[in-house]
Amino acid sequence: MNYNEKDEKTFYKDYFKSAVTLFIKKSQNKNESRYKSWEYCYNFFHSVHEKISDKKLSLKSPFGDDGQKWTYKDQLSLHLAFYMASWGMYRGSSFLLQNDYTIYYGVINVIFKDDYKELWNNENLLKENMEERIGLTLDIYKDIQNALYRFKDFYDTKSYFCIVNENSSEEDREGLNPKFLTIITKIMLGTIGCFPALDRNFKYGFGISDGSKKSDFVEQTIKRVFDLVLDKKEEIESAVEEIKKEIECDELPPIMKAIDMYYFIKGQEDTFLYNLGFKKSEFNGVAKKEIRENIKGKIDGIKEEIENALPEKPMHEKSKNALKFLYNNIYKKDPKKDTSPCFDYIANPIIRQYCEENLQSIKDFIGNYYRSDKEEDDEE
Tens-digit pLDDT profile for residues 336-360: 544 444 566 789 988 888 888 888 8
pTM: 0.86
φ/ψ of residue 71, rounded to 5: -105, 175
High-pLDDT (> 70) share of the chain, %: 78
Write down the pLDDT at residue 159: 40
Separation CA 302–CA 3 (nearest Å): 25
* pLDDT-wise least confident of 25-39, 145-159, 275-289: 145-159
Tens-digit pLDDT profile for residues 167-226: 445 445 456 666 788 899 999 999 999 999 999 899 999 988 765 556 688 889 999 999
Count of positions (residues) in the chain: 380
Residue 38's pLDDT band (boundaries 50, 70, 90)?
Answer: very high
Separation CA 84–CA 91 (nearest Å): 10
Average pLDDT over residues 27-55: 87
Separation CA 257–CA 320 (nearest Å): 31
Separation CA 326–CA 322 (nearest Å): 7
More confident residue, 333 or 362: 362
HSE value, Cβ hemisphere, 13 Å, CA-based, for 301? 14
Separation CA 106–CA 110 (nearest Å): 6
Are the C-beta atoms of residues 283 and 273 closer than 8 Å to each other? yes
Count CB neighbours of 263 within 10 A. Answer: 27
Tens-digit pLDDT profile for residues 2-34: 666 557 888 899 999 999 998 888 777 666 677
Average pLDDT over residues 36-62: 93
Average pLDDT over residues 362-367: 81
Are the C-beta atoms of residues 264 and 201 closer than 8 Å to each other? yes
Write down the pLDDT at residue 258: 94
Separation CA 377–CA 321 (nearest Å): 19
Average pLDDT over residues 70-96: 88
Which of 270, 271, 243 shows the shortest CA–CA distance to 257?
243
State CA 294 to chain mean position distance.
28
* pLDDT-wise least confident of 62-71, 253-262, 350-359: 62-71
Write down the pLDDT at residue 97: 76
Residue 364's pLDDT band (boundaries 50, 70, 90)?
Answer: confident
Residue 75's pLDDT band (boundaries 50, 70, 90)?
Answer: very high
**Residue type at 126 in one-letter notation:** L
Separation CA 263–CA 48 (nearest Å): 29
What rounded mean pLDDT belongs to the chain?
81
Separation CA 37–CA 166 (nearest Å): 35
More confident residue, 65 or 226: 226
More confident residue, 153 or 355: 355
**Residue type at 320 in one-letter notation:** K
Q: What is the 3-state secondary structure (H, E, C) of the chain?
A: CCCCHHHHHHHHHHHHHHHHHHHHHHHHHCCCCCHHHHHHHHHHHHHHHHHHHCCCCCCCCECCCCCCCCEHHHHHHHHHHHHHHHCCCCCCCCHHHHCCHHHHHHHHHHHCCHHHHHHHCCCCHHHCCHHHHHHHHHHHHHHHHHHHHCCHHHHCCCCCCCCCCCCCCHHHHHCCCHHHHHHHHHHHHHHCCCCCCCCHHHHHHHCCCCCCCCCCHHHHHHHHHHHHHHHCHHHHHHHHHHHHHHCCCCCCCCHHHHHHHHHHHHHHHHHHHHHHCCCHHHHCCCCHHHHHHHHHHHHHHHHHHHHHCECCECCCHHHHHHHHHHHHHHHCCCCCCCCCCHHHHCCCHHHHHHHHHCHHHHHHHHHHHHHHHHHHHHHC
Are the C-beta atoms of residues 78 and 86 closer than 8 Å to each other? no
| Residue 328, pLDDT above cutoff 50 | yes
HSE value, Cβ hemisphere, 13 Å, CA-based, for 124? 5
Separation CA 192–CA 88 (nearest Å): 19
High-pLDDT (> 90) share of the chain, %: 39
